[in-house]
Amino acid sequence: MRLIETGLPGLVLLEPKVFRDERGFFLETYSEAAFDALGIRARFVQDNHAYSTQQNVVRGLHFQRPPFAQAKLVWVVRGSVLDVAVDLRRGSPTFGRHYCVELSAKNMLRLFLPKGFAHGYATLAPDTEFLYKVDAPYAPQADAGILWNDPDIGVPWPSADAVLSPKDRLLPRLKDFDSPFVCEPPLADAGGAAITPNPSGVTHVDEIQRSGQGSGPPRGDFGGRLRHAAVAAVALVVSQAAFGAQRRHDAAAADRKPRAGKFSARERLGGDQRRARVRGAQPAEGSEPGAGRPRFGRAAGAQHLARHSAGAWQHCAPAERRGRRSGRCRRRGRVPFRPSGGGPGGLAGLPRPGHEPGRGRALSSPFGVTPRKPETGYGYIARSERLEEGAYAVECFIEKPKLEKAMEFLKSGRHYWNSGMFVFRAGNFLEAVRAHAPEHWSWWRGRDEKPLTAGYGALKNLSVDYGIVEKITNIAVVEARFDWDDLGNWEAIYNLGKKDGNGNVIQGDVLAIDCRDCLLISKGGKLAVVGLSGMIMIQTRDATLACPLTDVQRVKEVVALLKAQGSPLVESHLTVKRPWGSYSVLEEGPYYKIKRIEVLPGARLSLQMHHHRSEHWVVVSGAALVEIGGEERLLVENQAVDIAKATTHRLANPGKVPLEIIEIQSGPYLEEDDIVRFDDEYGRVKHENS
């Protein structure tokens, strides 16, 4: 198989090796080994076949939004098409550019599209059959597209008189589309292997195999990348090194091999899931001073960075903040920066590499956002003397003020909104934790080999802002030179949302009649609303919130009351993430509970038993390797097994696609603490027995 570069990073054309004789021909339509050798690690889970009766049929430009985004391998087995790919990855040097190629039954070429590309084609002949493989199943809720003849993209379609579906005629133009895809160097496929451009433009499998290349960079080799990021640009530390170090260090500390893309840093920390909130009724944690626990993933990231350079920059940003540039929002938890024009490496709102704000005086630099209105839901930073352009000494931090004070701050010109984002030197951050949060520091340093979740829940609630940053005296505030929004309440979600003709932001299965200026979200069944104005309606499977947009700050009162009543809504979610996958509670009652369990490819649960319940498992999709009483058996779709109480058992996924099962528990006690573990990949046996 021959790989041909297209000029768009990650998008490659493939020419299979065809064996011909008098009988006809033979070729491999797909070879996992050949793709691995070329550095293409997508694991395909679904094949699709499209037939077009006419010439000039246009299908596209289509894609699926994350987290259901798809990499594709496409080709033609009958007829021919003009195949088109458009780069939708923000930050890519080829964003918005397209690539066209003729695919036909005659040339037998294949086109591989990584995630982040829109795809479409026009048939060049009648009775054309088009095949493609995808690495994620079809998800109708994530189905999306770009207008096929968008003049900003400029695809040279063979005919302007195309045969289109009604849906494709109504797709938006690129300029009206907020892309959810972000280009993160190095460009990689789903398996983590980089596809590196070849100067010759052509790569052969046998050449790669002879040279020993093509297996991708070692998954654990993050030190070199972090050192390079710290030296080359603070932005890379912000967007990759700090976040990547946190995730991977958390994984290593939890006594398991890190698996890219399995679960988020927050889920690895475990305890952060338990912060008080109403699921579906409050996007961020409570607004009381000091609420929330410090992100010890940040400490992990700082420790990892400090091993290579104590002077490396670390950026801390809460996930419920959003930065925005040029009308396009970056994904949540990441803030875009652009060259400031102040010389090589200069970054807007950030100090240049090797240069600290305040002429080296500041140990920490929070970002301050110039207020646009008298906001009572944000904290403020008061500045004092100017240290240099865009940097000021901090006079004090102010918690959420009353309206009168907020109006004074807006007029003063010397108060900023506290964005909750900070830049530290890695070594300084660790020293600050040790000096100002000794209890947390002692826990962190004394964990030994225990997982991060061990003892985390017993720690005092303490945010990084309140527990550390506000206690540092040598601190400078940096004026943010980028747009910023706080996603800490539903009003912010409404302000950022795309509104219909009546000013409504609608998500999910919602029927709205004569409603204006409302935020209407359903994640659990049909939500029907009539005659509302300026209201919020949020519906999930187990909770519903209704309140005026002007009263969103009072959601914390709901949380406090539910917590006082002992409601489980503030402690647990119906869907719980685990290192091996997740489970969702579908229904429960006295003496029974029904769960949907998803196990990631290659993952397995602990060897365990229960004293008070028996279980019945039914495989919905995938393959399950089940161990019961020391004996193993393989189950596939529609097969089931019973597990008696006090019987050791284990569930594993030996396949390459997610395993989904339905678990029915029955017994007098069904809580999660009725688990006795005998063997566990995630260190929980050692912790429980210590």
Q: Tell me the catalytic residues.
A: 62, 132
- Closest of 61, 65, 11 to residue 331, by C-alpha: 65
Tell me if residue 334 falls in helix, strand or coil.
coil
- Closest of 643, 646, 591 to residue 616, by C-alpha: 643
Tokens of 443: 């826990």
Amino acid sitting at position 300: A
Backbone angles phi, psi at 351, to 5 degrees: -70, 155
Q: How many CB atoms lie within 10 A of CB 216?
A: 19
- Cβ–Cβ under 8 Å, residues 424 and 316: yes
- Cβ–Cβ under 8 Å, residues 415 and 426: no
> Is the dihedral angle over the CA atoms 665, 668, 674, 676 positive or is it negative?
negative
Q: Concatenated DSSP letters for 16-49?
A: ---EEETTEEE--S--HHHHHHTT------EEEE
- Closest of 436, 454, 10 to residue 444, by C-alpha: 454
Terminal CA-CA length for the chain = 55
Q: Which residue has the tokens 């076949």?
A: 49
Tokens of 586: 């579908």
Cα 76 to Cα 79: distance, rounded to the nearest angstrom: 7
- Cβ–Cβ under 8 Å, residues 476 and 469: no
Cα 259 to Cα 241: distance, rounded to the nearest angstrom: 17
Specify the DSSP element, H or E, that contains 303. Answer: helix 296-308
Q: Concatenated DSSP letters for 164-189?
A: --HHHHTPPPGGG-----B--SSPB-
Tokens of 633: 């058996």
- Cβ–Cβ under 8 Å, residues 322 and 496: yes
Q: What is the 3-state secondary structure (H, E, C) of 116-161?
A: CEEEEEEECCCCEEEEEEECCCCCHHHEEECCCCCCCCCCCCCCCC
Specify the DSSP element, H or E, that contains 405. Answer: helix 403-412
Tokens of 11: 């998008």
Q: Which residues contact 49 (CB under 8 A, 6 or more apart)?
A: 129, 130, 131
Cα 642 to Cα 645: distance, rounded to the nearest angstrom: 10
Cα 296 to Cα 463: distance, rounded to the nearest angstrom: 10
- The CA-based dihedral angle spanning residues 420, 272, 219, 658, taken in that order and rounded to the nearest 10 degrees: -130
- The CA-based dihedral angle spanning residues 36, 39, 42, 47, taken in that order and rounded to the nearest 10 degrees: -70
- The CA-based dihedral angle spanning residues 419, 424, 429, 431, taken in that order and rounded to the nearest 10 degrees: -130
Amino acid sitting at position 577: K
